[in-house]
Amino acid sequence: MRLNQLIGSIAEAGRELLNRTRPEARSVEQLCEDLSSSKGEAMGTAIAQEVVAAYDKMDKEQKIDFFGLLYNKYSSDRETILKSAEAYKTTNDLETFKALSVAVDGPRKNLFRSFNMAPNGTSTLVRMREDLFELLPEHKELEAVDVDFLYLLKSWFNRGFLTLETINWQTPAHILEKLIAYEAVHEMQGWDDLRRRLADDRRCFAFFHPALPDDPLIFVQVALVDGIAGNVQDLLAEPRADDDRSNFDTAIFYSISNCQEGLRGISFGNFLIKQVVMELRKEFPQLKRFATLSPIPGFRRWLNKEVANAESALLTASEKEQLSQLNSDQWHTFESYVDMVEPLLMRLCAHYLYHAKRGKYPLDPVERFHLGNGARIERLNWMADTSANGLAQSAGMLVNYGYELSKVEESHEAYVNDHAIVTSKDFLKLID
């Protein structure tokens, strides 16, 4: 029996129990107080269930009140902290240290742990955090509440608790429909598109957590191809009848999507990619290369600044002139223009990936992620994603990051210690 169903069966019985003992509904404030008292130990599951039910019915105003309650009443108490710190300073023994720990840890984390005992408790906490994100811009003080959410969820969604599942056409429909909804990189056009992406020469893997058995946390889509894929249009197209799709040597990770906004800040991608590389190597010993086909989300923004920068050393006036057409509609359909700007844009984009920084690390966030994982820049691809989004982000270019497991540690070290941008030799040729 799955976790959820099982706790679900408690729910029903628990509700019955509660109906008997507490005829009128109690306020959420009272419920939280009960959960934080000794009653929480005796009646925890049942009360937690009432909190979840109450939360499910709240409108936005009530949620603001609820998070306000969490902030005002369940934050760590400053006076206690300062007093405990003083005592610890004086005595320096385990007891005063533990008292200080408890004071700093505060009552809110334990309240969240109590919520978690309800059926669907974990998923409710994830949704709560998602809701909280919407309120943060207007209610900065609630950031303190998020600190506790993040602390707990990071601990609970530890890699050791996740399972890797293969997603394919045998997967239940209610999970597949979530893939359609969550795909963030190359939007899915419905069930036929999905089915293409789950064909024999494709693979899809996702991480799941036992408390959210119906909800993937993150998934990656892989194409098994012959040679490194240089554009995404081919990958998403229907295969031609005469394709020989059995003759592949390369796995292309062409889309990685996080699914749970409420788990923002908890990183799954690195673990996912590496485990999938290992799974694929086991299933297909013939695979020689593993690489992403990744967006370059910051390139056009950076480029626009360079163009606007009167003192840019990178661009001549005539080059700037050329680039001005990039803002016109459909520029990518004018062959002669495309041919003309290709060398220029390839050079600029390579420069962006290699030299543009935020602090000591690359400016591009996707690049930071993959180099941080120990991947290297493999190849820059022209006219690789001609969707509206691809043109807007990176003038249609995509980049391959290569994952060679035996070099991952070394590359990671070079990146972290020396801030090195590890690349293939071919890519380096694009750099002046």
Q: Which residues are catalytic?
A: 294, 370
Of the two residues 71 and 337, which places its CB atom closer to a second copy in the complex?
Answer: 71
Q: Is position 29 an interface residue for a second copy (rule: CB under 8 A)?
A: no
CB 72 within 8 A of CB 49: no
- Footprint of a second copy on 284-343 (CB under 8 A): none
Count interface residues toward a second copy (CB under 8 A). 86
Of the two residues 171 and 386, which places its CB atom closer to a second copy in the complex?
Answer: 171
Q: Is position 424 an interface residue for a second copy (rule: CB under 8 A)?
A: no
List of residues 6+ apart from 396 with CB closer than 8 A? 332, 382, 383, 384, 385, 386, 390
DSSP state, 420? Answer: -
Instruction: Give 187-236 as a DSSP string.
Output: ---SHHHHHHHTSTTEEEEEEE-TT-TTS-SEEEEEEEESS----HHHHH
- Footprint of a second copy on 192-221 (CB under 8 A): 195, 210-211
Of the two residues 103 and 323, which places its CB atom closer to a second copy in the complex?
Answer: 103
Of the two residues 198 and 229, which places its CB atom closer to a second copy in the complex?
Answer: 198
In terms of Cβ atoms closer than 10 Å to its own Cβ (0-12, 13-18, 19+), residue 209 is: buried
Rounded CA-CA distance 70/133 in Å is 15
- Footprint of a second copy on 118-137 (CB under 8 A): 118, 121-122
CB of 243 to a second copy, least distance (A): 20
Rounded CA-CA distance 337/126 in Å is 48
Q: Is position 45 an interface residue for a second copy (rule: CB under 8 A)?
A: yes
Of the two residues 22 and 351, which places its CB atom closer to a second copy in the complex?
Answer: 22
CB of 383 to a second copy, least distance (A): 32
Q: Is position 30 an interface residue for a second copy (rule: CB under 8 A)?
A: no
CB of 160 to a second copy, least distance (A): 4
Give the residue among 290, 36, 264, 293 at the shortest CA–CA distance from 150: 264
Q: Is position 117 an interface residue for a second copy (rule: CB under 8 A)?
A: yes
Q: Is position 17 an interface residue for a second copy (rule: CB under 8 A)?
A: yes
CB of 173 to a second copy, least distance (A): 5
Q: Is position 270 an interface residue for a second copy (rule: CB under 8 A)?
A: yes
Strand locations in 217-314 (E): 218-225, 250-258, 289-292
- Footprint of a second copy on 231-250 (CB under 8 A): none
Strand ordering across the sheet containing 376-381: 163-167, 202-208, 218-225, 250-258, 289-292, 398-402, 376-381
Q: Which of 25, 104, 184, 431 binds a second copy (CB under 8 A)?
A: 104
- Footprint of a second copy on 76-95 (CB under 8 A): 76, 78, 81-82, 85, 88-89, 92, 94
Q: Which of 21, 318, 333, 336 binds a second copy (CB under 8 A)?
A: 21
Q: Which of 14, 216, 262, 402 binds a second copy (CB under 8 A)?
A: 14
Of the two residues 320 and 407, which places its CB atom closer to a second copy in the complex?
Answer: 407
- Footprint of a second copy on 390-419 (CB under 8 A): 405-410, 412-413, 416
Give the residue among 327, 430, 431, 329 at the shortest CA–CA distance from 382: 430
CB of 418 to a second copy, least distance (A): 13
List of residues 6+ apart from 45 with CB closer than 8 A? 10, 14, 117, 118
- Footprint of a second copy on 148-177 (CB under 8 A): 152, 155-156, 158-161, 163-165, 169-174, 176
CB of 259 to a second copy, least distance (A): 18
Whole-angstrom distance between the N-terminal and C-terminal Cα of the chain?
61
- Footprint of a second copy on 344-383 (CB under 8 A): 372-374
Q: Is position 143 an interface residue for a second copy (rule: CB under 8 A)?
A: yes
Give the residue among 278, 232, 279, 272 at the shortest CA–CA distance from 252: 232
Exposure string (b/e) for 228-247, b if CB count within 10 Å is 16 or more?
bbbbbeebbeeeeeeeeeee
Of the two residues 358 and 429, which places its CB atom closer to a second copy in the complex?
Answer: 358
Alpha-carbon distance values, 351 to 146, 230, 277, 309, 320 (Å): 38, 19, 29, 16, 16
